[in-house]
Structure 1
Amino acid sequence: MPSDVLQADLQHSDFTPTVSPYAVICRAEPLSSAALAAAYFAAYPPGVAAGTLAEAQTEMKESFAHEFGHLLENASFVALHQGSPIGAIFVVEESIWDEDISGPFIIDLFVDPRHQGQGLGRALISAAMSACKAYGADTLSLRIGDGTSGAALELYKRLGFRELV
């Protein structure tokens, strides 16, 4: 098992999706891919995700086109602040990179840095966890890497994500 994968047990978790007074959390839709690209591009340090805004736009389109796995539209969400997308979580049916990991997999979670600190990461993850549990999934997994901040790692742990053994 890869050491950079975290997984949450959904069936033994009792949680309620977090409501954010700062933003509306709603289902991610392909029409929002261009607007999401700016938040995506801003969220990652240079060289970690898309190198340009145009590349970010392409990656958003590819996410909705299932290029990174079959996107679970009922478990993928966008955070809107005053009607503009400022963050998102994308969940696929299973990882296309890790054969040994079954079940829903978070391929991306990001919040524009200008809007961080408002509980949006927690709201997006808890919405995805709740949706995956309702979908009948036992677990939800994600991969941590160079773009994972210490704050994000702590949030994952508080929400029950643990290293795979």
Structure 2
Amino acid sequence: MLMQRGLPLPAPELPAGITLRPQVPSDAEALGALYWDSYPKGAAAVDLEDAVEEMEGVFAGEYGTPVDAASLVVADADGNLLGCIQTVTSPPWEGIPAVPFVIELFVHPEHRRRGLGTVLLLSAAQACHDSGWESMALNVQEETAADASQLYQRFGFVEITPVGAGESPSI
């Protein structure tokens, strides 16, 4: 389900003991492990090695041009990555609006329901707005539709028809 929302969104409130920073290429291995742990097995990657390769592909621009200021991680006081949002422009899929597009938003299962996904989403939206963008878009996968849709709808994201297409892109 393709969704879009005008900007700005509310300002994020960072939970105590959590840091927020842009992701960097040296995070690829830790992000791959987090990605692997965050989705049902086989839904996002076939194994841990594939998950790391997916993250390396994000940094290499395989899924669009990364928006560095809106591609963020949250970490605990020890620097362990707990969640991530990855935002790009010009993704390779048809039907995506020409706005910043969230290709991934994931939080480790042990750290969900603590507001980390909200912090990531609102922080990325703020970065996009600060860069002059008027909206952002994302795609909700069936595997995460229930939880993800609630988060996005709470902040006013609405389902849209893909640009020039009759059905949602497969991402």
Normalising by the residue count of structure 2, what TM-score does the alignment of the two structures yield? 0.88
Unaligned stretches of 5+ residues in structure 2: 162-171
Q: Match for 2:2: what amino acid?
A: V
**2:93 corresponds to which residue?**
97
2:36 matches 1:41: yes
CA 1:29 to 1:143, structure 2 compared with 1: closer, same or farther past 3 Å?
A: same
Q: Does the CA contact (< 8 Å) of 2:89 and 2:101 recur in 1?
A: yes
Report the more deviating stretch, 92-101 or 106-115.
Answer: 92-101
Distance 1:53 1:154 in 2: 28
Distance 2:83 2:90 in 1: 22
| Counterpart selection for 2:138 from 138, 142, 148 | 142
CA 1:100 to 1:43, structure 2 compared with 1: closer, same or farther past 3 Å?
A: closer
Number of aligned pairs?
160
Q: Match for 1:144: what amino acid?
A: V
**2:155 corresponds to which residue?**
159
Distance 1:22 1:7 in 2: 31
Distance 1:147 1:130 in 2: 27
Distance 1:55 1:22 in 2: 31
**2:60 corresponds to which residue?**
65
Report the more deviating stretch, 145-154 or 127-136.
Answer: 145-154
Paired residue secondary structure (1:130): helix
Normalising by the residue count of structure 1, what TM-score does the alignment of the two structures yield? 0.91
Any residues of structure 2 matched to 1:4-23 within 5 Å, and which?
4-10=1-7, 13-23=8-18
**1:25 corresponds to which residue?**
20
Q: How large is the Cα RMSD of the aligned pairs?
A: 1.4
4+ runs of 1 displaced by more than 2 Å? none
**1:78-111 deviation per Cα after TM superposition (whole angstroms, max 9, x unaligned):** 0111211121000001332134511100000101
**1:50 corresponds to which residue?**
45
Distance 1:147 1:94 in 2: 24
Percent of pairs identical after alignment? 34
Distance 1:56 1:49 in 2: 8
Q: Match for 1:56: what amino acid?
A: A
